[in-house]
Structure 1
Amino acid sequence: MRMGMRVLGVVGSGAFLLGGAAAPGFALAPEADLAYHGYVSMAAGSVDVRFTPQNHGPTAVSDATLRLRWSAPLADGQRLPKQCARSGERTVVCRTGALAADGLGEEIGVTVRLAGVPSEVTLEIDTVWGGGAVDRNHANDRQRVLALDTGDSYVF
């Protein structure tokens, strides 16, 4: 008799499992809870973003990628940190580097010039890739911040 995992029922995106060992080729993805906290400021069409990635665990992540998306187009010829790259008219992606479980990553600073000089800009931050881990808590890895052209810092 062959023992394997049996699905008893499915509710939403979860499944109730019964049985012994997992079937061959079936593996559960590790779980990590990524978060980004920092500030954004804007003055004369220049936007400065500083943030620290964090992993609340329970699994360490070897690397992750997050997206910074502005509501206004970016100017041509941006000078970005080595772990960041422009990926569209309004978008930059950045690698976080390794994030230990229940640990902080290195602070990441990104300064961009906007095309023109808008009086305000909205910045959206979200995870594009979590290093192969599943993040079930998107309340802290998706941020949306409005920054006014005042030079003031807006915390997220």
Structure 2
Amino acid sequence: MRVLAVWGAVVAVGAVVLGGGTAVAAAVPEADLAYHGAASMAGGRVDVRFTPRNHGPAAVPDATVRLRWSEPLVDGQTFPEGCARSAARVVLCRVGALAADGVGKRVEMWVRLRGVPSEVLLEIDTVWNGGTVDRNRENDRQRVLVLDSGDAYYF
């Protein structure tokens, strides 16, 4: 009898946990962040400009994007407001709130790389999306090979 009572309590608790977990998962808003822009490089200086976009369906209360280069950056650089260096090859930029089907403020920066490489791989991805779920990670993760040609490479 005691075993049946314990088993019944376990089943009841499991139902509450599963039910609660399902309700919580369903309540998380979904958004689809994307970044589109261009990058160019000449003489070890990389110019980057991109615009964040939220394809929805929910708004994003706050978002942060990471820009990571395959080559280290020169120390002591100045970045645009909302952007900060977080590692030898990484800069984080707060893009802020994005309305559903909204376009954010354009981010423009240039960075100087150590040395003068003939190419650099730039990777851009979301590191914070304000607690929303993004099921389409293909358009908020960009990889761009930028050659030291002065030409713009679009993403």
TM-score w.r.t. the length of structure 2 is 0.85
Question: Where in structure 2 are the equivalents of 1:93-108 lying within 5 Å?
Answer: 93-108=92-107
5+ residue gaps, structure 1, are: 8-21
Q: Deviations over 1:62-99 (max 9, x none)?
A: 21011000000000111101110000010000011111
Tell me which amino acid in the other structure corresponds to 2:20: A
Query: Structure 1 length as normaliser, TM-score?
Result: 0.84
The one-character-per-residue Cα deviations of 1:95-148 (angstroms, maximum 9, x if unpaired) are 111110001001001210001110110000011011110101011000000001
Q: What is the match of residue 78 of structure 1? A: 77
Does residue 41 (structure 1) correspond to residue 40 (structure 2)? The answer is yes
CA RMSD, aligned part only?
1.9
Q: For residue 61 of structure 1, what is the aligned residue in structure 2?
A: 60
Measure, in 1, the Cα distance between the counterparts of 2:94 and 2:127: 10
Q: Report matched runs for 1:1-20 at 5 Å.
A: none
In the TM superposition, 1:20-35 aligns within 5 A as: 23=20, 26-27=23-24, 28-35=27-34
Specify the alignment match of 1:51 in structure 2: 50
After TM superposition, the structure 1 = structure 2 runs for residues 94-133 of structure 1, keeping only pairs within 5 Å, are 94-133=93-132
For residues 83 and 97 of structure 1, what CA distance do their matches in structure 2 show? 9
Q: Could you say which structure has the larger radius of gyration? A: 2
Q: Aligned-pair distance for 1:155? A: 0.1
| Secondary structure class of the residue paired with 2:56 | strand
Task: Give the whole-Å Cα distance in 2 for the aligned partners of 1:114 and 1:46.
Answer: 6
Q: 1:47, 1:133 → 2: CA distance?
A: 31
| Equivalent residue pairs, number | 140
Structure that is richer in strand per residue: 1
Gaps of 5+ in 2: 1-11
